[in-house]
Structure formats: C-alpha cells, structure tokens
Amino acid sequence: MSRTPEEIVRASLEKHGSGREAVMEILTDVNRELGCIPEEAIIATASAVGVSNAEIYSVVSFYSFFSIKPRGRHIVRLCSTISCVMSGSAEVLEAVRDDLGIREGETTSDGRITLETTSCIGLCDQAPAMLVNDEPHTRLTPETARAIIAGLE
C-alpha cells in the first residue's frame, strides 16, 4: 500500500520540523514519492506550517520540478539548452515523442512516462543529455534514447 499525501507530509514534518523553512523539503518528499503534489498535500503542509493554502500553492507552481498534475511513474527530462541542441537533442526529442506518442509536458496513457524538456542540466560536456528520474544519461542518440526509455517499467 502506498502512503497517502497526508501520511507523507506527516512523516516529512517529523524529519524536517514544521517551520516555514521546511516547506521545500516537505514538498520535495511528496513530489518524489507521488510524482506530483496533490491538493491534500498542499492543504496538510499549509496547516502544519501555519500559512494559507494559496501560499503553498504559489510555491509549488514556482518550481519546474514540482507538479500539481499527476505525472507518470518515470519522468524523462531532456535538456533543450544550446550545447545539447547543437549535439542533436532535437532529433532525440523527436524520436522519443514518436515512440511514446506524446509531446513534451504530456504523460503516456498507461501512466508510465512523463516527457519534459528542461533548461541546462549541466552535462554539456556529454551532450545531448537527459535525466530519467534521478539518473543522468549522456551522449544520446535517437537509438540509445529509445532503448533507455523502452527499458523503463
């Protein structure tokens, strides 16, 4: 059984305290476990820290790694900044889009994968690069990217 949003927030509060400065840690814990930050988690965080729901919502919406919308079990983030573009990230993106039948910002209908493009991820010396969840993958070609993605459960 997976934990509910409220349970994750509660466990996170125990680790990080209920000060305002714990908010990023709590949201990160929720986002990591559920792939997104559902309304229940926003409400639980707001009441624990003592600020309005809107205030927490505005924090969530600020950061590109946080999502209100549910996402897939795996998040693929392909770099779209200059050094990766110059090394062929557009072709990699096209290949992945074709394979998955989705565009960036979308999730496959089976809930397996969310595809995103991202600003520079600091792997420009091994471009083109992407992050799959926490793992970096570098020197991609359309073929290697397809294979990596096919291997995700």
Partner 1 sequence: MAAGKRLLLGDDQPSIGEALIKAMDMSPADVVFEVRESDIRGRGGAGFPTGIKWNLAGAASGDHKMVICNADEGEPGTFKDRVLIEKMAWKLLEGMTIAGYAIGSSHGIIYLRAEYPYLVPILEKARQDLISQGLLGDDIQGRGFSFNIEIRSGAGAYVCGEETSLIESLEGKRGEPRNKPPFPVNSGYLARPTVVNNVETFAAVPHILLGGAEWYQGLGRDDCSGTKLFSISGDVENPGVYELPMGAALRELLELSGAKDIAAVQVGGASGSTVTPDELDKPMSFSALPPGGSVVVFNSSRDMLDVLENFMEFFVHESCGQCTPCREGNRRLLDIIRSIRAGEIASRDDLKPFFLLADVMKAGSKCGLGQTSPNCFVDIITKFIAFPGDKEGA
**CB of residue 110 to partner 1, shortest distance in Å:** 25
The C-alpha atoms of residue 138 and residue 79 are separated, in whole angstroms, by: 10
Q: Which residue pairs from 11-15 have beta carbons closer than 8 angstroms and sit at least 24 positions apart in sequence?
A: 13/48
Beta-carbon count within 10 A of 143 CB: 10
- Asked if 65 interacts with partner 1 (CB under 8 A), we say yes
- List the one residue from 124, 138, 141, 146 that touches partner 1 (CB under 8 A): 124
Q: Which of residues 80-119 bind partner 1 (CB under 8 A)?
A: 80-83, 85-86, 118-119
- Asked if 54 interacts with partner 1 (CB under 8 A), we say no
Residues linked to residue 78 through DSSP beta bridges, in sequence order: 117, 130
- Asked if 30 interacts with partner 1 (CB under 8 A), we say no
Q: Which span sits near partner 1 by CB under 8 A: 61-69, 91-99, 106-114, 144-152? A: 61-69
Binding site for partner 1 (CB under 8 A): 19-25, 27-28, 31, 49, 58-59, 62-66, 77, 80-83, 85-86, 118-127, 131, 134-136
